[in-house]
Homo-oligomer: A and B are copies of this chain.
Amino acid sequence: MLKIGIIGAAGLSGRELLYWLKRHPKVTVELLTSSKYQGQKVSDVFPELNGYAQVFQPNEIDVSGCDLVFLAIPNQASLELVPKLLKQGTRVIDLSGAFRLRDTEVFSKFYQLSHTAPELLEETAFGLPEFFKEKISAARLVANPGCYSTGALLGILPLKDLLAKLDRAPIIDAKSGVSGAGGRVEGDTTNYVSVNENFKAYKIFAHQHQPEIQQYLGDLSPYQTGVLGEVIFTPHLLPLNRGILSTIYLHFSEPIAADEIRGRFSKFAEGQKFVHFMEEGCLPDLKVTQNSNRVMIGAESDDSGQNWVVVTSLDNLVKGASGQAIQNMNLMFGLDETLGLL
């Protein structure tokens, strides 16, 4: 049995890790921490998670007995903690954004933080298993992808051979439930009466997942920002708990046959455990992925065949965070990629 630690187990991602790990047949949660609830029993804070007898520990606990530690804490806390954990020889999956961007200047601009461990960036695996399986398997440190980035990259990268034919930057109009856009952090943004019966765009041209999407598009496809400019990414806040729907606009310099587009998505999905491409005429809504680790994808074109709209759906707390982290854990320890997940 793998011995697991969770730092920040009482936030939304941490709680979601607890939910899934409880059913994982090869894992025991050895310790879990929470600054807010330290000293309280898990089952008192989350009565729905019956079966955890543990007590929340302080975040500063010694994790050296763990095979793997999940970090579900703010960016700055991860930045400080990761180097210490790696020195102790513990493998780490970091759910924050601290180790996703290679360019520390871009990191500073979007995260308003100086990067204090740039020496780790090269070896860090980006935890998108559909594209980085090998590096993840061998990694000491996995940077779990942003929820929006997962939805955008899995909607574009299956077409990577065709991206050279794009004549405009893709536009990603993304809509997230509250748990993917601030979560349980207190504040006006996530207050019930502010969100309910409301909808808004936020952080236009300024969201930290935009450079993340851009970087991995550049790494994995012939996409040239020099020619097309950067991808345009607009996040919105939906009045619901969980789920991200991304509407992605692609414009090609020539018509692309439906078979070509659909064929590439289908073939890609066949090789993956959690990616499903929907039949012609079908587009995913949020229901089809809620409470699962699946990504579901649909695509439609106009009559010209030059304009394509790709729609991706995922659960931001599962495939967009904790489920994907467990998928990465499975790979890191040679387990079946799907173990413990749905």
Contact = CB atoms under 8 A, between A and B. Distances in A.
Nearest to A282: B47
Contacts of A196: 178, 192, 196, 239-241
A232 B278 contact: no
22 contacts: A44-B279, A44-B282, A47-B296, A168-B251, A178-B196, A183-B193, A192-B196, A196-B196, A197-B286, A197-B287, A198-B240, A198-B243, A199-B238, A199-B243, A200-B285, A201-B283, A201-B309, A201-B311, A205-B300, A232-B307, A238-B239, A239-B240
A205 B298 CA distance: 14
A175 interface: yes
A186 interface: yes
A304 interface: yes
Contacts of A50: 276, 294
Chain copies in the assembly?
Answer: 4
A204 interface: yes
B241 A284 contact: no
Interface residues of A, number: 71
Contacts of A173: 173, 247, 249
Contact of A283 (B44, B194, B200): B200
A194 B184 CA distance: 8
Interface string A226-259: 0001101010101111110101010100000000
Given A50-B294, A186-B187, A198-B240, A12 B193 contact: yes
A193 B236 CA distance: 16
Contact of A285 (B198, B251, B278, B289): B198
B205 A301 contact: yes
A201 B239 contact: no
Q: Which 8 A-B pairs have the closest CB atoms?
A: A200-B285, A173-B173, A47-B288, A186-B186, A48-B288, A192-B195, A178-B192, A205-B302
A300 B283 CA distance: 30
A140 B257 CA distance: 47
Contacts of A192: 178, 190-192, 194-196, 239, 241
A158 to B, nearest CB: 18
B249 A171 contact: yes
A224 interface: no
A300 B278 CA distance: 34
B190 A184 contact: no
A137 interface: no
A59 interface: no
A290 interface: yes
A266 interface: no
Contacts of A290: 48, 197
A217 B247 CA distance: 24
A119 interface: no
A247 B234 contact: yes
A281 to B, nearest CB: 10
